[in-house]
Structure 1
Protein backbone atom coordinates (compact mmCIF):
# COMPACT_ATOMS: atom_id res chain seq x y z
CA UNK A 1 0.00 0.00 0.00
CA UNK A 2 1.33 3.47 -0.93
CA UNK A 3 1.64 6.35 1.48
CA UNK A 4 1.82 10.09 0.85
CA UNK A 5 5.61 9.98 0.52
CA UNK A 6 5.34 7.31 -2.18
CA UNK A 7 2.81 9.40 -4.11
CA UNK A 8 5.03 12.48 -3.92
CA UNK A 9 8.05 10.50 -5.17
CA UNK A 10 6.00 9.18 -8.09
CA UNK A 11 4.76 12.69 -8.91
CA UNK A 12 8.28 14.15 -8.78
CA UNK A 13 9.40 11.53 -11.31
CA UNK A 14 6.78 12.86 -13.75
CA UNK A 15 7.19 16.62 -13.39
CA UNK A 16 9.82 19.30 -13.83
CA UNK A 17 11.19 20.77 -10.63
CA UNK A 18 12.93 24.10 -10.95
CA UNK A 19 16.04 24.41 -8.77
CA UNK A 20 16.13 27.23 -6.23
CA UNK A 21 18.98 28.96 -8.07
CA UNK A 22 16.82 29.06 -11.23
CA UNK A 23 13.57 29.94 -9.46
CA UNK A 24 13.61 33.72 -9.87
CA UNK A 25 14.13 33.46 -13.64
CA UNK A 26 11.41 30.80 -13.92
CA UNK A 27 9.01 32.99 -11.92
CA UNK A 28 9.75 36.04 -14.09
CA UNK A 29 9.04 33.96 -17.20
CA UNK A 30 5.84 32.47 -15.75
CA UNK A 31 2.33 33.59 -16.60
CA UNK A 32 1.13 32.35 -13.24
CA UNK A 33 2.83 31.75 -9.89
CA UNK A 34 0.62 29.53 -7.74
CA UNK A 35 0.99 28.96 -4.03
CA UNK A 36 -0.92 25.74 -3.32
CA UNK A 37 -0.63 25.97 0.47
CA UNK A 38 -3.59 26.70 2.73
CA UNK A 39 -4.73 30.31 3.16
CA UNK A 40 -3.23 30.71 6.64
CA UNK A 41 0.18 29.58 5.36
CA UNK A 42 -0.07 32.00 2.42
CA UNK A 43 -0.98 34.94 4.67
CA UNK A 44 1.95 34.18 6.99
CA UNK A 45 4.32 34.73 4.05
CA UNK A 46 4.50 34.06 0.32
CA UNK A 47 6.54 34.77 -2.79
CA UNK A 48 5.73 38.19 -4.29
CA UNK A 49 3.24 37.93 -7.14
CA UNK A 50 1.88 34.55 -6.06
CA UNK A 51 -1.79 33.70 -6.21
CA UNK A 52 -3.11 31.38 -3.52
CA UNK A 53 -5.20 28.43 -4.66
CA UNK A 54 -4.99 25.65 -2.06
CA UNK A 55 -4.14 22.18 -3.35
CA UNK A 56 -7.53 20.78 -2.37
CA UNK A 57 -9.46 23.04 -4.76
CA UNK A 58 -6.86 23.68 -7.47
CA UNK A 59 -8.36 21.62 -10.27
CA UNK A 60 -11.82 23.05 -9.64
CA UNK A 61 -10.63 26.67 -9.53
CA UNK A 62 -8.62 26.33 -12.73
CA UNK A 63 -11.50 24.59 -14.51
CA UNK A 64 -13.98 27.30 -13.53
CA UNK A 65 -11.94 30.41 -14.26
CA UNK A 66 -11.77 31.29 -17.97
CA UNK A 67 -8.57 33.28 -17.40
CA UNK A 68 -6.86 30.15 -16.06
CA UNK A 69 -8.15 27.58 -18.54
CA UNK A 70 -5.56 28.16 -21.27
CA UNK A 71 -3.45 25.02 -21.38
CA UNK A 72 -0.43 26.93 -22.73
CA UNK A 73 -0.06 28.99 -19.53
CA UNK A 74 3.46 28.86 -18.12
CA UNK A 75 2.82 27.92 -14.47
CA UNK A 76 5.20 27.72 -11.51
CA UNK A 77 3.81 26.10 -8.36
CA UNK A 78 5.10 25.91 -4.83
CA UNK A 79 4.04 24.78 -1.37
CA UNK A 80 5.86 24.49 1.95
CA UNK A 81 8.50 21.89 1.03
CA UNK A 82 7.45 20.74 -2.49
CA UNK A 83 5.24 17.69 -1.87
CA UNK A 84 1.85 19.30 -2.47
CA UNK A 85 3.24 21.29 -5.40
CA UNK A 86 4.56 18.09 -7.01
CA UNK A 87 1.16 16.44 -6.68
CA UNK A 88 -0.51 19.59 -8.03
CA UNK A 89 1.90 19.77 -10.98
CA UNK A 90 1.17 16.15 -11.82
CA UNK A 91 -2.58 16.86 -11.73
CA UNK A 92 -2.21 19.92 -13.94
CA UNK A 93 -0.20 17.93 -16.47
CA UNK A 94 -2.97 15.30 -16.48
CA UNK A 95 -5.44 18.13 -17.16
CA UNK A 96 -3.43 19.10 -20.24
CA UNK A 97 -1.35 22.02 -18.98
CA UNK A 98 1.92 21.79 -20.90
CA UNK A 99 4.24 24.23 -19.09
CA UNK A 100 4.14 23.35 -15.41
CA UNK A 101 7.07 23.57 -12.99
CA UNK A 102 7.31 22.99 -9.26
CA UNK A 103 9.75 24.86 -7.03
CA UNK A 104 12.22 22.37 -5.52
CA UNK A 105 12.27 22.74 -1.74
CA UNK A 106 9.18 24.95 -1.76
CA UNK A 107 8.66 28.08 0.28
CA UNK A 108 10.88 26.78 3.10
CA UNK A 109 13.89 26.66 0.74
CA UNK A 110 12.97 30.05 -0.75
CA UNK A 111 12.73 31.61 2.71
CA UNK A 112 15.92 29.94 4.00
CA UNK A 113 17.79 31.42 1.03
CA UNK A 114 16.70 34.89 2.14
CA UNK A 115 14.69 35.55 -0.99
CA UNK A 116 11.93 38.19 -1.12
CA UNK A 117 8.63 37.40 0.51
CA UNK A 118 5.40 39.15 1.37
CA UNK A 119 3.39 38.78 4.56
CA UNK A 120 -0.17 39.99 4.89
CA UNK A 121 -0.78 42.79 7.33
CA UNK A 122 -3.88 41.48 9.02
CA UNK A 123 -5.54 43.46 11.81
CA UNK A 124 -5.09 42.26 15.36
CA UNK A 125 -8.48 41.66 16.97
CA UNK A 126 -7.20 40.93 20.46
Structure 2
Protein backbone atom coordinates (compact mmCIF):
# COMPACT_ATOMS: atom_id res chain seq x y z
CA UNK A 1 0.00 0.00 0.00
CA UNK A 2 1.39 3.41 -0.91
CA UNK A 3 2.33 5.24 2.30
CA UNK A 4 1.74 8.65 0.72
CA UNK A 5 -1.84 7.64 -0.03
CA UNK A 6 -2.36 6.52 3.58
CA UNK A 7 -0.79 9.72 4.93
CA UNK A 8 -2.91 11.94 2.67
CA UNK A 9 -6.09 9.97 3.30
CA UNK A 10 -5.62 8.90 6.90
CA UNK A 11 -9.32 9.35 7.67
CA UNK A 12 -10.27 6.81 4.97
CA UNK A 13 -7.66 4.40 6.26
CA UNK A 14 -8.91 4.84 9.86
CA UNK A 15 -12.49 4.21 8.71
CA UNK A 16 -11.34 1.04 6.93
CA UNK A 17 -9.67 -0.22 10.10
CA UNK A 18 -12.74 0.53 12.23
CA UNK A 19 -15.10 -1.16 9.77
CA UNK A 20 -12.82 -4.21 9.56
CA UNK A 21 -12.75 -4.49 13.34
CA UNK A 22 -16.53 -4.17 13.57
CA UNK A 23 -17.04 -6.88 10.96
CA UNK A 24 -14.55 -9.12 12.73
CA UNK A 25 -16.21 -8.57 16.10
CA UNK A 26 -19.66 -9.32 14.67
CA UNK A 27 -18.35 -12.49 13.03
CA UNK A 28 -16.88 -13.68 16.35
CA UNK A 29 -20.06 -12.76 18.22
CA UNK A 30 -22.19 -14.76 15.83
CA UNK A 31 -19.73 -17.63 15.65
CA UNK A 32 -21.37 -19.77 18.31
CA UNK A 33 -18.56 -19.64 20.83
CA UNK A 34 -16.34 -21.84 18.71
CA UNK A 35 -19.13 -24.34 18.22
CA UNK A 36 -20.40 -25.51 14.89
CA UNK A 37 -23.88 -24.41 13.96
CA UNK A 38 -26.65 -26.75 12.93
CA UNK A 39 -29.83 -25.62 11.20
CA UNK A 40 -33.33 -26.46 12.39
CA UNK A 41 -33.72 -28.77 9.39
CA UNK A 42 -30.43 -30.59 10.12
CA UNK A 43 -31.03 -31.02 13.85
CA UNK A 44 -33.47 -33.97 13.66
CA UNK A 45 -30.94 -35.85 11.54
CA UNK A 46 -28.19 -35.17 14.08
CA UNK A 47 -30.46 -36.40 16.87
CA UNK A 48 -31.50 -39.55 15.00
CA UNK A 49 -28.17 -40.51 13.42
CA UNK A 50 -25.67 -39.41 16.07
CA UNK A 51 -27.85 -39.53 19.19
CA UNK A 52 -27.29 -35.83 19.85
CA UNK A 53 -28.66 -34.34 23.03
CA UNK A 54 -30.35 -30.93 22.96
CA UNK A 55 -29.64 -28.63 25.88
CA UNK A 56 -31.96 -25.63 26.09
CA UNK A 57 -30.12 -22.88 27.95
CA UNK A 58 -33.16 -20.65 28.51
CA UNK A 59 -34.47 -19.90 31.97
CA UNK A 60 -37.01 -22.48 33.28
CA UNK A 61 -40.07 -20.25 32.74
CA UNK A 62 -39.08 -19.74 29.08
CA UNK A 63 -38.36 -23.48 28.73
CA UNK A 64 -41.88 -24.33 29.97
CA UNK A 65 -43.41 -22.15 27.23
CA UNK A 66 -42.00 -24.48 24.59
CA UNK A 67 -38.82 -26.35 23.71
CA UNK A 68 -37.46 -28.96 21.32
CA UNK A 69 -38.84 -32.40 22.23
CA UNK A 70 -36.63 -34.32 24.70
CA UNK A 71 -34.43 -31.26 25.35
CA UNK A 72 -32.99 -30.89 28.81
CA UNK A 73 -32.96 -27.50 30.50
CA UNK A 74 -29.77 -26.05 31.93
CA UNK A 75 -29.98 -22.25 32.06
CA UNK A 76 -26.92 -20.46 30.71
CA UNK A 77 -26.47 -18.87 34.14
CA UNK A 78 -25.94 -22.37 35.60
CA UNK A 79 -23.97 -24.01 32.80
CA UNK A 80 -20.62 -23.84 34.66
CA UNK A 81 -22.15 -25.43 37.75
CA UNK A 82 -23.81 -28.19 35.71
CA UNK A 83 -20.82 -29.40 33.69
CA UNK A 84 -20.97 -32.68 35.59
CA UNK A 85 -24.47 -33.31 34.25
CA UNK A 86 -23.13 -32.88 30.70
CA UNK A 87 -20.04 -35.02 31.28
CA UNK A 88 -21.97 -38.24 30.65
CA UNK A 89 -22.69 -37.10 27.09
CA UNK A 90 -19.03 -36.30 26.43
CA UNK A 91 -17.88 -39.71 27.64
CA UNK A 92 -20.39 -41.38 25.31
CA UNK A 93 -19.26 -39.17 22.38
CA UNK A 94 -22.76 -37.77 21.99
CA UNK A 95 -22.94 -34.39 20.28
CA UNK A 96 -24.39 -31.59 22.41
CA UNK A 97 -26.63 -29.08 20.66
CA UNK A 98 -27.28 -25.88 22.56
CA UNK A 99 -30.48 -23.98 21.91
CA UNK A 100 -32.20 -20.87 23.19
CA UNK A 101 -34.71 -18.38 21.84
CA UNK A 102 -32.49 -16.72 19.23
CA UNK A 103 -28.99 -18.22 19.56
CA UNK A 104 -27.20 -15.63 21.71
CA UNK A 105 -27.40 -17.48 25.02
CA UNK A 106 -26.46 -20.73 23.27
CA UNK A 107 -23.31 -19.06 21.96
CA UNK A 108 -22.36 -17.99 25.48
CA UNK A 109 -22.92 -21.51 26.77
CA UNK A 110 -20.90 -22.96 23.88
CA UNK A 111 -17.96 -20.78 24.89
CA UNK A 112 -18.10 -22.24 28.41
CA UNK A 113 -18.26 -25.81 27.10
CA UNK A 114 -15.41 -25.30 24.65
CA UNK A 115 -13.24 -23.81 27.42
CA UNK A 116 -13.94 -26.97 29.41
CA UNK A 117 -12.81 -29.20 26.52
CA UNK A 118 -16.19 -30.34 25.24
CA UNK A 119 -15.39 -30.99 21.60
CA UNK A 120 -18.62 -31.97 19.88
CA UNK A 121 -20.68 -28.87 20.58
CA UNK A 122 -23.19 -27.29 18.23
CA UNK A 123 -25.51 -24.32 18.49
CA UNK A 124 -28.90 -24.22 16.84
CA UNK A 125 -28.59 -21.57 14.14
CA UNK A 126 -31.32 -18.99 14.67
CA UNK A 127 -32.39 -20.66 17.91
CA UNK A 128 -35.89 -21.80 18.73
CA UNK A 129 -37.26 -19.07 16.48
CA UNK A 130 -35.74 -20.86 13.46
CA UNK A 131 -37.11 -24.21 14.73
CA UNK A 132 -40.62 -22.74 14.93
CA UNK A 133 -40.26 -21.08 11.52
CA UNK A 134 -39.72 -24.55 10.02
CA UNK A 135 -42.96 -25.71 11.74
CA UNK A 136 -41.08 -28.32 13.74
CA UNK A 137 -42.75 -29.68 16.90
CA UNK A 138 -42.49 -28.10 20.32
CA UNK A 139 -42.92 -29.80 23.65
CA UNK A 140 -44.66 -27.85 26.40
TM category (shorter chain) comes to 0.7 to 0.9
Which position in structure 2 is the counterpart of 1:113?
A: 134
Which position in structure 1 is the counterpart of 2:81?
A: 60
Which position in structure 2 is the counterpart of 1:97?
A: 118
TM-score (norm 1): 0.78
Which position in structure 2 is the counterpart of 1:24?
A: 44
Paired residues for 1:45-84 under 5 Å: 45-63=66-84, 67=88, 70=91, 72-84=93-105
Structure 1 gaps of 5+ residues are: 120-126
Does residue 34 of structure 1 match 2:55?
yes
Report the Cα offset of residue 86 of structure 1: 1.0
Report the Cα offset of residue 14 of structure 1: 2.3
Structure 2 gaps of 5+ residues are: 1-24
Aligned Cα RMSD in Å? 2.6
Q: Any runs of at least 4 consecutive aligned residues in structure 1 with deviations exceeding 6 A, and if so which?
A: none
Report the Cα offset of residue 62 of structure 1: 1.7
Q: Classify the secondary structure of the residue corresponding to 1:46.
A: coil
Aligned length: 116
**Structure with the higher fraction of residues in helix conformation:** 2
Say which of 2, 8, 29 aligns to 1:9.
Answer: 29
Q: Which moves more between the two structures, 103-112 or 57-66?
A: 57-66
Q: Which moves more between the two structures, 102-111 or 15-24?
A: 15-24
Q: Is the 8 A contact 2:53 2:97 kept in 1?
A: yes
Q: Which moves more between the two structures, 70-79 or 103-112?
A: 70-79
TM-score (norm 2): 0.71
Q: Classify the secondary structure of the residue corresponding to 1:56.
A: helix
Summarize deviations over 1:17-74 as a string: whole Å, max 9, x none: 1122212112322442100000011101010010000000012112367635638441
